[in-house]
Structure 1
Amino acid sequence: MATGIKQPKIAERLSILNRRQLGVLCRLHFMKTTLADPETRHPFLPGGDKAFDNAWKVLLKKFPNVETRSNSTLNVFCNQKEIFKQTSLLYYNFVDVLEVKDNVLDLLQRISNAGIHLEITLNSDLTYLYLELTANYFAMMYFLTRIPDLKAILMLFNFLFEQANGKPEPNFARMAERFADTPEAFLKRLLEEFKPFTSVLSVALSSLNDFFVRRTVRAQNWRDSLFLNILAEPSKITHTALSDQLACELLSYEVMERWVVFGFLLIGPASGEGDDSFARIRLALRNSYVVVLFRDEVVHVHGLLALFFESVWTGKSSSKRLSDIKEAMSIAYSQAPVAHSDRRAYLRSSLRQLHSVLSDQPGLLGPKAFIVFWGLSYAADEICWLLRHSCNVPPKKNINVDEFADVALPELLYYIEDLRHLVRRYAPVIQRFHIQMLPAYDAPGLEEYLRPSINYLSMDEVEIFNGMLTQLREVEDILTSSAPRHCEFVSLRLDWLRLQAILSAKDSPLPLINCRRLAEHLHSTTFHTRLIDQIEDLIRQVSDLSVYYFYWNKLEEVFNHSLVYPSQLRYSGVFLSMPASFINTCHEMCPRERFLVGKTAGNLTRRFCRKLVDALCAAFFTHLEEICNLAEQLAPQKSVPWLVEERLMKKKSAEENGTMKKNKSGTSGGQSAVNPIIMPGTESLRHNRIDQTSYDKTLFTLSQLCSALTFRKDLHAFEEVFDPRTVLQTELQLRIFEYLRPLVPVISAGPNDKTEVELRRLVRPSDMLRRARALMEVLIDLEDLVRIDVVAVFTSVFEQHAQPSSDVSKNVQTLTTHYTEWYADDFIQQAYVGHFVFSPLLKSFVTMPSPDAPRFRAEEYADLAELRALSELIGPVGIKYLDSRIVDQIGSRVEEVKKLVILNRPLLEELRGAFDDPVKTRKLAAQLQKVDVLLSYLREIGVGLAFLALFREALGDVVKLRAPFLVETAKSIRTRMRRQGRGKLLPPPMFDSDAILDSSGVDSSAERAARLLEVQLLASNLCAAMGLTTDGLDAGLCELLRFNQRASSSLNGGAGSTAPTAEPPLNLQYHIACLFIVFVANALPQLAKVSGCAYQINLAANEGNMHCIAYAVTTLMICMFSVLSPGDLEERSTEFLALASSNLLRLGLESCSSLVSAAEISGAAENSSSRHNNNSTNTNSGNRDSVYLLFDEIVRLSPVLTANLQEACFPYALIRSAYSHLANANSRLQHQHHHGNVRSNIPPMSGHHVDGSSSSQYHP
């Protein structure tokens, strides 16, 4: 474009000086904020370090003069480079103010000398820059009166400068004279400075009348004129919104108010002589009681104008103006809040309609773009008015603060932000529409209006207009060749600004006022170009809410209120995106402020996101509790009251039929009426949707909060990017992890117990699983509202709970830890002492009656169904951890058993060699020590192994259901290992027929068996992890035995150790294992003399868990001989069978069984009078039969013993007789208790359970 016109470049100077003046204002505001904050205030300033107090008194005593020659007090400031550096940063801000002041006054003088006529409807861009320059000039100069320590900064820097250079700072004298004035003197000085510019400024202000009045009309006028209603005329909905003053209509009220008020203070006498000229300022005074000075700095305009009329301008009409000010002040205090509240209510409905229409038909954004920006401008005005007035309520004024509390403010903010997002999203639609409009409408119009005036213009001006026409016509070619974003019209708008300055001068051959239609059309054209290449700048100009950075605590307060009111919940998400606009407050001349603004924006976004997620999580878990309660109503135990209710109904029916007496059923019927049972599902029955239930309210809250959280996908705050859904997903994982805690309220030991002893109890696994499934259902419902990865949440939470400890929360125990500690430390201990009995028939632990029995039933926690539920909760990993804990307990008892074997080692060696000598055998067996302790340890080991077997069976059921293909793969591996182990998952014999020789000719079958054992242990470990049977080869127990073996070998220093209680080396450990089976075989007959171990036929178990010894003996034999001598299990098992059967046969001869005579068993047996010397009590025949069944169970569980081997050593007739005898005994017992309130197979249990209900009994 041509720029050769010889002018003082007023347009360029206005643009540059406005920008620089705004930067100086930003630096002054940042300096004031820094000095007012005790954390950032420099310590050497007054009120800081007390070491400088005396020096400050000397410096400020005779401002601006100071006596430095004879005063040594000021030496405290000398030779301190840091003080000079910090003071210079502050001082040169004031130097910049002085420089900008001189440039502004010079430019205003040039404009006045050029006789430029300024009118907002004629040369709007030029007038806007001029009025903005004067208003910011007043704000900049008045702002100096609010900066603390201004005199101190000036004096200190001048003193240090003079000490360093020998002369005062050149600008100090002017600044000391002008910047230290009182407000009255300041206003007088400004009034004197602006006298030459009064005529230009007064004309510019008078042109604002129409637009300023339109910005202050009541909401009722908007309703009458259908303001912002694009559906008022449906036939014109696609028509383009055209106006001659598009840009002027978007001038905000806050900007025009500053122009009016500050302009009046600059040229008061010229504009205040008549009532008509005062009407504009009167309108501003009635509408507001504070005016924005800069950012969050405001002036109470009534007090400032009163000071102006009292001290500065004391004309003949000053008293009348003072009364007008007081009247306007009372109106502003009483009526303005209500009027603005009504305006906000209308704007909410209008923007809601606008948003609904445009989001459904975004193509209308092209012709209706101006309507959108118009509505945004008015809405932003109302929000800024409410913000600055609610935060600056004058004290001692009769103002109702509640009038500023706008509950629906989040909704208005929501529609502003969403309309802005809509404009950004469909910017190509707007750009394409106006690119088509420029050559079709704006270029022909410009050519038409320019034709009559072309002869009056100079060649340079004609060249500028021709260049503008050419650019407008070439836009159509750009549309077909490149994207709309490549179109730039900055040069066109700058040329028009230059032309406004040229044609508005008094010596212009063609005054712009004579071609008003041309000017108005060019204003419309430049606005259309801004809709192409400056949409973001236009959005920021009309609806920027970055001022909330300075009122962030007010923004947080409104956000907190939005979370309280249900109607505003869905709009609370707008607050998460608002801090992103804070960066708009920054200026390139104040770079230090940018980091602080960005940090505040990031922190506020993070806090809002956290609070919204917290509220959503609270609603989520409230909804979850409701779903869990509904699921709990369908629990199996909840059906018991219905059985009672059915009995009561039958009883009542029988009474009505006359089959029962009335007095026998009256009480029951009354109880039923008083405590009715509510059927599950009745909560869904309703007559209408008006009355909301708590479930409806919770679901509504949850859906609204989810809508708020998904308002924006990404939140950009300075250099940070936030994803609210990621924050929600992370928080949900943490809270769900903490929510899944199986603890129940602790129950005291008894109502009269004053001790601190309390019993621990956990939620039943089935109840916990039901809660977890309800959680999954609620998470799936949540996924429909907010797109989060539910599978990842659920998987992550339960993966953490499957571990012994969690990385998510160090202070919260996992489900695995809770249940492992409870089962391994509490539950199984009760089984060890005999309170719980393992029933192989029921596949469950059963509670036995006892005075000190625990306050929970074993059936509720350790039946197969509960253990399946636990397996689903903690998975194979958790079961593996529980397995290891139980194995550790078993291992400690195995070590104790070894000690007992070592203690009786000489006797056991003799017993093993005296197998064929019954007399010697009885004599040696009577001398064995701590036989009862051995049996106790074996019983506890068996209980632990039975518990593990039950757990593994439950795990196998779950894994087979969840991963059948994986289970089949494990079964295939187990089958292959069994083939190598001759049908069992056990090591084969060491010296078999296919032994091979190594290169040296040495038999390597032992090494081969050892390697095969390793493979089989891996296969066993795999099978155990998936709940498959392992033929008794427990990999965990084998590894524990190996570890103890290695630890003991290193401790004993090899085979040379001869300590009687120390662990022997490898060759002796095998010997100890052999002696162990001898010990057990000779200890089994002692069980017949133990009381309290009666056999329950309906449980297939002995009281006191005596039958679990079979699990212990079998598993220990398999593991010991597999580790110590792979392949030797079969021979040692046969040896045990022979020893045990021999002892048990002698037990039969000694006890005179009524079913089988001694002669039938062994004709050469000893007389039954030969007994152990330490057991004089007669052997109970029932206990003897139980021992027979225990022996049969050992044979049945052994993977190498068979029925044929058993029959060869021990007649199976004895076992059949034992079964028959025990069955008859249980039948007689059942007949005796037929009329009691007990089960047929278990004595009655005391009713002291937690739930207060009696124990349910098992019936075969």
Structure 2
Amino acid sequence: MGSSAKSHLASIQKDKSEILKNLTSFYHSFVDVIEFRENVNELLASMDNCQMYLDINVNYDLTKGYLDLIVTYTSLFLMVSRIDDRKVLLGMYNCAYEMSNGSSEASYPKLGQMMLDYDHPVKKLTEEFTPHWKLIADALLSLQFLFLRRNLKADDWRSAHLLSVISVPVMMLTPAVSDTMQCEYLSLEIMERWIIIGFLLCHNSLNLDPSCLRLWKEAMQCSLCIELFRDEVIFHHKVAEELFNSMKGYSKRIADSKECREEAASKGGAIHRERRIFLRGAVKELSTILAEEPGLLGPKILFVFMALSFSRDEVSWLVRHAENITKTKTPEDYVDSNFAELLFMMEELRRLLHKFKKVIQRYFVTYLANFDAVLLNETIQNLSVCPEEESVIMSSFVNSLASLNIKQVENNETFDFQGLRLDWFRLQAYTSVAKTPLILRENVKLAALMNTIVFHTKMLDNLDSLLVETADLTPFCFYPRLFEKMFLQGTEDSTQLPYLIAFPMVCSHFSSCIHDMCPEEARNSALLVLTAAVHPEREEMSCLIFSSELSGSGDFRKLPSPSDPGADGNV
């Protein structure tokens, strides 16, 4: 052993207690990664063995959960590969542990092997997911028509009168419904991430199936980078090209990736700018009408969540690209002087949902009890096959819905449909495997109705979490300099002064980024909120807002206090 190695060991021996104290959390986080990896691999193998069927339009929760899982798994190992000196720190911890306990830490051999295996994470992940290619490809292909229908230009939205409740006056009171309710407000950004990362894992599908190739190319043209985790991004064109370069028979896919990157660079900025322009007008019209006629929040609630989701996607795209795309021939693509207006309109929709929560609850209590329950009972009765266990579960759905009444809202009773939604998730799993008596894909009407019912129940007990899903703006939490820069750009445009209050309002979203399993982040998040909301620049904002009010140009709609008419949700 060289003198340098002996010196390092002596240093570790001397400071072993401090090393163990400071690196224990770091080390055991990697142990958690091993455990997570083993559990995921076991689950994925079980799903393959059961010959599970996945379709976002049928078993929505199951398919979404699966795609979220494989993307989270992939993102995790890409993040691990970005940690500097991970091997050195893990080795140092194990050395200190061995000096203190006389033997290596039990998980160290597995950890060491994992560090070696994932030195080149993308290549290793594609090898690891080889047995799961068919199920991944099937799940992704179920997004084909949904993604193409959602990924449209602003002119197409305008022609379709998207989000307009007054385009057909006689239909104003008709409920906005769809056979795929939850898909209508599913984030386009999330679908884009599923498709890009999913087809990296099952890349042979791109050579074998033209539908897979078309869907992949459509997603690859949307952005120049996608979110990996918070402010960490991945430049997916580069990653795809590096992977395909290492394999034979993928020269056409490399050319496709380069073509998509050029398309995203040359046209993507203009497409997203036009979408933001459309959404500013459409969301403003929607919020104005709903503020005047809050009774429309019941039948048109789907439009609200679509508006929030579409807007959040565009906000997220702009934030991500403005921060990460520094070398560009069209820098104007990543600047929006009217950005504050879109943020404000999103906050206005959120405010309306909170203010008229009881209006929404009254509508959906009646809808669930008098329509959904009756239709579900008829649908169950018409099933050609319905085993006893599934029949008991679905009968309990009918009973739960039929027992609802308007007095529960008036008495401020707390609704809780988590059990119903979990049972439906289980039922999706039971009925989406081979050799099951009740096959869900052969009973699409039942699937569509239950997915609609799940959405309706969330209007009663889960409105806040649905707002987090569709309108959460926590990305700003991790881009503080960009947040300030966008605010200052707004101050330079007098038409945006009435909307600048949206920036401090957005700070209230930041608490959503804290996970229950990471409570230690709570303090850091609180500091970020305070830094963003009580920054010296906010003094300038306060002055501008005050001046705007004095001059009569202000257009603020104050948040309701308990004494405001309608603050209790009554119309």
TM-score tier after normalising by the smaller chain length: over 0.9
Cα separation, 2, equivalents of 1:89 and 1:342: 47
SS, match of residue 121 in structure 1: coil
Partner AA of 2:453 in structure 1: T
Superposed CA offset, 1:166-203 (max 9, x none): 222222222222224566x3222212221221111111
Counterpart for residue 350 of structure 1: 282
SS, match of residue 382 in structure 2: helix
SS, match of residue 230 in structure 1: coil
Among 370, 375, 388, which residue is 2:320 paired with? 388
Counterpart for residue 569 of structure 2: none
TM-superposed CA distance for 1:274, in Å, is 3.4
TM-superposed CA distance for 1:609, in Å, is 4.1
TM-score by length of 1: 0.43
Counterpart for residue 181 of structure 2: 246
TM-score by length of 2: 0.94
Counterpart for residue 50 of structure 2: 114
Q: Describe the shift of the 1:481–1:596 C-alpha distance in structure 2 as closer, same or farther (beyond 3 A).
A: closer
Among 496, 506, 521, which residue is 1:578 paired with? 506
Partner AA of 2:149 in structure 1: R
Counterpart for residue 23 of structure 2: 87
Among 373, 377, 391, which residue is 1:462 paired with? 391
Superposed CA offset, 1:357-403 (max 9, x none): 011111111111111111111011011011101111154xx431122
Partner AA of 1:333 in structure 2: A
1:593 aligns with 2:521: yes
Counterpart for residue 129 of structure 1: 65
Superposed CA offset, 1:1109-1159 (max 9, x none): xxxxxxxxxxxxxxxxxxxxxxxxxxxxxxxxxxxxxxxxxxxxxxxxxxx
More helix by share: 2
Which residues of structure 2 form unaligned runs of 5+? 562-571
Cα separation, 1, equivalents of 2:210 and 2:393: 43
**Which structure 2 residues correspond to residues 518-529 of structure 1 after superposition, within 5 A?**
518-529=446-457
Superposed CA offset, 1:492-543 (max 9, x none): 1111111000011112111111111111111001110011110111111011
Counterpart for residue 158 of structure 2: 223
Cα separation, 2, equivalents of 1:172 and 1:473: 56
SS, match of residue 590 in structure 1: coil
Counterpart for residue 270 of structure 2: 338
Contact 1:559 1:572 in 2 (8 A): yes
Cα separation, 2, equivalents of 1:327 and 1:701: 53
Cα separation, 2, equivalents of 1:290 and 1:378: 18
Contact 2:351 2:559 in 1 (8 A): no
SS, match of residue 227 in structure 2: strand
Which residues of structure 1 form unaligned runs of 5+? 1-53, 59-70, 620-698, 715-1260
Q: Describe the shift of the 1:477–1:606 C-alpha distance in structure 2 as closer, same or farther (beyond 3 A).
A: closer
- The runs of 4+ residues in structure 1 deviating greater than 6 Å are none
Contact 1:241 1:371 in 2 (8 A): yes
Cα separation, 1, equivalents of 2:444 and 2:171: 28
Counterpart for residue 1051 of structure 1: none
Aligned length: 558
Q: Describe the shift of the 1:477–1:355 C-alpha distance in structure 2 as closer, same or farther (beyond 3 A).
A: closer
SS, match of residue 337 in structure 2: coil
Superposed CA offset, 1:765-787 (max 9, x none): xxxxxxxxxxxxxxxxxxxxxxx
Cα separation, 2, equivalents of 1:463 and 1:120: 25
Partner AA of 1:85 in structure 2: K
Q: Describe the shift of the 1:481–1:407 C-alpha distance in structure 2 as closer, same or farther (beyond 3 A).
A: closer
1:546 aligns with 2:395: no
Among 120, 128, 132, which residue is 1:197 paired with? 132
Superposed CA offset, 1:841-863 (max 9, x none): xxxxxxxxxxxxxxxxxxxxxxx
Partner AA of 1:339 in structure 2: I
Cα RMSD of the aligned pairs, angstroms, is: 1.9
Superposed CA offset, 1:553-590 (max 9, x none): 11111111211210000000111111111010011221
1:473 aligns with 2:402: yes
Q: Describe the shift of the 1:561–1:477 C-alpha distance in structure 2 as closer, same or farther (beyond 3 A).
A: closer
TM-superposed CA distance for 1:275, in Å, is 3.0
Contact 1:261 1:281 in 2 (8 A): yes
Counterpart for residue 805 of structure 1: none
1:406 aligns with 2:339: no
Counterpart for residue 671 of structure 1: none
Q: Describe the shift of the 1:348–1:73 C-alpha distance in structure 2 as closer, same or farther (beyond 3 A).
A: closer
Among 346, 349, 352, which residue is 1:419 paired with? 349
Cα separation, 1, equivalents of 2:545 and 2:174: 44
**Which structure 2 residues correspond to residues 207-286 of structure 1 after superposition, within 5 A?**
207-286=142-221
Contact 2:185 2:306 in 1 (8 A): yes
TM-superposed CA distance for 1:702, in Å, is 3.8
SS, match of residue 89 in structure 2: helix
Cα separation, 2, equivalents of 1:543 and 1:407: 21
Cα separation, 2, equivalents of 1:342 and 1:546: 23
SS, match of residue 139 in structure 2: helix
SS, match of residue 244 in structure 1: coil
Counterpart for residue 229 of structure 2: 294
TM-superposed CA distance for 1:439, in Å, is 1.5
SS, match of residue 84 in structure 1: helix
Contact 1:573 1:711 in 2 (8 A): no
Among 481, 489, 493, which residue is 2:421 paired with? 493
Among 497, 506, 509, which residue is 1:569 paired with? 497
Cα separation, 2, equivalents of 1:162 and 1:489: 51
SS, match of residue 343 in structure 2: helix
Partner AA of 2:115 in structure 1: F
Counterpart for residue 611 of structure 1: 540
1:703 aligns with 2:555: no
Partner AA of 2:312 in structure 1: A
1:315 aligns with 2:244: no
Cα separation, 2, equivalents of 1:257 and 1:300: 13
Among 11, 23, 36, which residue is 1:100 paired with? 36
Among 444, 460, 474, which residue is 1:516 paired with? 444
Cα separation, 2, equivalents of 1:458 and 1:510: 7
TM-superposed CA distance for 1:480, in Å, is 7.5
1:173 aligns with 2:92: no
TM-superposed CA distance for 1:478, in Å, is 5.5
Contact 1:566 1:701 in 2 (8 A): no
Cα separation, 2, equivalents of 1:563 and 1:713: 26
Cα separation, 1, equivalents of 2:78 and 2:469: 25
Contact 1:616 1:702 in 2 (8 A): no
Q: Describe the shift of the 1:700–1:162 C-alpha distance in structure 2 as closer, same or farther (beyond 3 A).
A: closer
SS, match of residue 487 in structure 1: coil
Q: Which has the higher contact order (CA 8 A, sep 6+)?
A: 2
TM-superposed CA distance for 1:459, in Å, is 1.7
Among 153, 163, 168, which residue is 2:89 paired with? 153
TM-superposed CA distance for 1:315, in Å, is 3.3
Taking only the aligned residue pairs, the percentage that are identical comes to 31
Contact 2:180 2:448 in 1 (8 A): yes
Partner AA of 2:98 in structure 1: E
Among 411, 435, 441, which residue is 1:482 paired with? 411
Cα separation, 1, equivalents of 2:344 and 2:95: 55
Counterpart for residue 369 of structure 2: 439
Partner AA of 1:372 in structure 2: V
Superposed CA offset, 1:1171-1192 (max 9, x none): xxxxxxxxxxxxxxxxxxxxxx
Cα separation, 2, equivalents of 1:307 and 1:377: 33
Q: Describe the shift of the 1:391–1:72 C-alpha distance in structure 2 as closer, same or farther (beyond 3 A).
A: closer
Q: Describe the shift of the 1:481–1:613 C-alpha distance in structure 2 as closer, same or farther (beyond 3 A).
A: closer
TM-superposed CA distance for 1:703, in Å, is 3.4
**Which structure 2 residues correspond to residues 800-819 of structure 1 after superposition, within 5 A?**
none
Partner AA of 1:501 in structure 2: A
**Which structure 2 residues correspond to residues 1074-1223 of structure 1 after superposition, within 5 A?**
none
Cα separation, 2, equivalents of 1:381 and 1:159: 47
Mean CA deviation greater in 291-300 or 163-172: 163-172
Contact 2:225 2:234 in 1 (8 A): yes
